[in-house]
Chains A and B, each alone.
Chain A
């Protein structure tokens, strides 16, 4: 699950990688309208998110996470503990 703190951290990462004001980042923020979001910075952004949250995106996900909205929901799914069984070690954020 994504709490407010996680969401703020995610926005902060995008702000740092793409040189944005974090308060302007919302679901409409995407590769279409962010000047610095090119294929090179896309990798840096993905790796930064993985580094911050201790998660790993699959090869398929890599190419899809081209907007804040998609990134946020993919991350939320990884941070969500699986029902009834312990969360995967790489899927849970250590607080």
Chain B
């Protein structure tokens, strides 16, 4: 039967990678790797990988090709003979050097390399065992030296798996001379070979094999130990090495604050109420900060990007006893009410790096999705919901590998610290509009009822930031207030394609100074939905409803607190103006210039009587 082309397999490199990511099975890797050879774009950097081995590493070549393609490399893998790695590397005209490899992988099984040591360990005297171990290391050292002599290739040495069982039984872990100890010592020596040279990496097969045991059946029958799980992990390491040697590593870790550096919302919970400390749940955030601090010691720059009052965040950095990160660890920050895409551009420009150097960490799926969609070159890490996974979310980032502390990096930090003025890049409004539109947001404004009263009271009690007057109400007070003539208590619910945000905003209108004036007693919004135009919808509904009640004018005031400076210009920003003789607030004539609803809302529902009243009036 002649080989035929399977129509179900995608035809271009990017779709092939996506096809495998969608279902990462061995058979898909094989099929995709074959097809990639034909369809990889010619302008992708070509990487020749030579594998020296003494056992069946296949189908590792297929995995390496596909993982390489996922990183934008055209990876060509050539695998040497079973027992020729020594000869291949020591002979000037061998296939290895003819091939001119960019990367040489040395994947040797200790069991095959030193079978007596591995399989009959207890028959050896200590000196025999030491001699066998020393021979093993010295042959690998010779191979590395020979490759370094003739090429400039990056070298990746697999270290050895520990014995699957314990030849000395219970004593295996106690004995300093057990096979397990011996293999660990060998792996340390391999590390020592690598650490002396900038171009040599260790592939930690010891750790991989501990996590994912080899296939004993296939090892015995075909000297083919790699399971799909092992192949995934090995090829991930190869891809990291390819990216690191190409200088593709990222340089900056940009951290959100609320829900990322600590639990809770500093603007609402205050310094004593955020979760950060030495027991659960605060200890999870300490762990995340420690992981970030470790990264900074590897030369990764840290930056903050947070929607907050800067003074609130400063207070935590300066005064919270459990803060791990200090202001001096932060190289750039944008703590303000501008959207995060704009802020990330500004951070990149402060630090003089490209957006493709940034990793952005946030717990909020909306922020993550917005950055992904507006700045696709930024790597976005959305924190997992489980606190036990926070630290690992930072520690498992594999994009900082080649970063070392350079003088240039240090200078960048200085530059930032001395910088007085910032030039924030302006995000084009049309692009943001498109993003908001893609969210499919819906809003529903309702009059208070006995179900919503409790939640509305709760919002008046705990909302600090987006709260114009910060008046606190109990459920009973609200119920009484709602019965008074001329009073309207509105609440707004919003949802989008990520889900229902629930009841997130409140507006209360009462009789004002004269008969035609409606006073906005309360106008607040939960910080969960800031910056998406929800306030515009609520103000629109407030105006419509006031008109329906017969009012001709809206009057609003701003009562400054330590927390609500973000909304100090809310009314003038929304078409309200100062009236002669009134410096308490701002007024808006109803009817002709009512606040409008942002065009990106897919649907807006107003209280039925408001719509009817407005129509009648």
Which residues in A have some Cβ–Cβ distance to B below 8 Å?
12-13, 15-22, 24, 29, 33-36, 39-41, 43-45, 47-48, 51-52, 59, 62
Contacts and interface: CB of A to CB of B under 8 A. Distances in A.
Nearest to B56: A40
B485 interface: no
A52 B26 CA distance: 9
Given A40-B56, A43-B218, A47-B26, A17 B31 contact: yes
Nearest to A40: B58
B436 to A, nearest CB: 40
Given A19-B3, A19-B31, A36-B3, A48 B25 contact: yes
- Which of A44, A59, A62 lies at the interface centre, i.e. has the most chain B CB atoms within 10 A of its CB? A44
A22 B4 CA distance: 9
B185 to A, nearest CB: 33
Contacts of A19: 3-6, 31, 34
B550 interface: no
Contact of B227 (A13, A18, A39, A47): A47
A34 B3 CA distance: 8
16 contacts: A12-B8, A15-B8, A17-B30, A19-B6, A19-B34, A20-B3, A21-B5, A21-B6, A22-B6, A24-B4, A33-B1, A35-B3, A43-B56, A43-B221, A48-B30, A59-B217
Contacts of B59: 44
Contact of B30 (A29, A44, A52): A44
A20 B4 contact: yes
A18 B3 CA distance: 8
B503 to A, nearest CB: 40
Given A22-B8, A62-B221, A44 B3 contact: no
Contacts of A18: 3
A16 B27 contact: yes
Contact of B1 (A12, A13, A29, A62): A29
Contacts of A22: 6, 8
Nearest to A63: B221
A15 B6 contact: yes
Contact of A43 (B1, B27, B222): B222
Given A36-B3, A41-B30, A47-B228, 15 more contacts: A15-B8, A15-B31, A16-B27, A19-B31, A20-B4, A35-B2, A40-B56, A43-B221, A44-B26, A44-B30, A44-B58, A48-B25, A51-B228, A52-B25, A59-B221
A22 B31 CA distance: 13
A20 B6 contact: yes
Contacts of A34: 1
Contacts of B56: 40, 43
A86 to B, nearest CB: 25
6 closest pairs, A vs B, by CB? A16-B27, A16-B31, A48-B27, A21-B4, A48-B26, A13-B27
Contacts of B6: 15-16, 19-22
Nearest to B25: A51
Interface string B56-81: 10110000000000000000000000
Contacts of A43: 56, 218, 221-222, 224
Interface in B17-67: 25-28, 30-31, 34, 56, 58-59
Residue with the highest number of chain B CB atoms closer than 10 Å, among A16, A40, A59 = A16
A90 to B, nearest CB: 14
B217 to A, nearest CB: 6
B7 interface: yes
Nearest to B9: A16
B30 A24 contact: no
Contacts of A35: 1-3
A46 to B, nearest CB: 8
Nearest to A62: B221
A33 B3 CA distance: 10
Contacts of A12: 8, 27
Given A19-B3, A20-B3, A36-B3, A44 B27 contact: yes
Contact of A16 (B2, B4, B30, B224): B30
- Max chain A C-beta neighbours (<10 A), residue from B3, B6, B8, B26: B26
Contacts of A13: 25, 27
Contacts of A47: 26, 215, 218, 227-228
A33 B31 CA distance: 19
Contacts of A21: 4-7
A20 B2 CA distance: 8
Nearest to A57: B217
A21 B27 CA distance: 14
A7 B398 CA distance: 39
Interface in B317-368: none
A12 B8 CA distance: 9
Nearest to A36: B3
A92 to B, nearest CB: 19
B31 A20 contact: no
B58 A24 contact: no
Nearest to B30: A17
Contacts of A36: 3
Nearest to B224: A43
Contacts of A44: 26-27, 30, 58-59
Nearest to A56: B217
B235 to A, nearest CB: 15
Nearest to B1: A33
A45 to B, nearest CB: 8
A68 B2 CA distance: 16
Contacts of B25: 13, 48, 51-52
Contacts of B227: 47
Contacts of A48: 25-27, 30
Most buried by A among B1, B6, B9, B58: B1
Contacts of A39: 222
Contact of A24 (B1, B8, B27, B228): B1
Contacts of A51: 25-26, 228
Contacts of B218: 43, 47
Contacts of B31: 15-17, 19
Contacts of B222: 39-40, 43
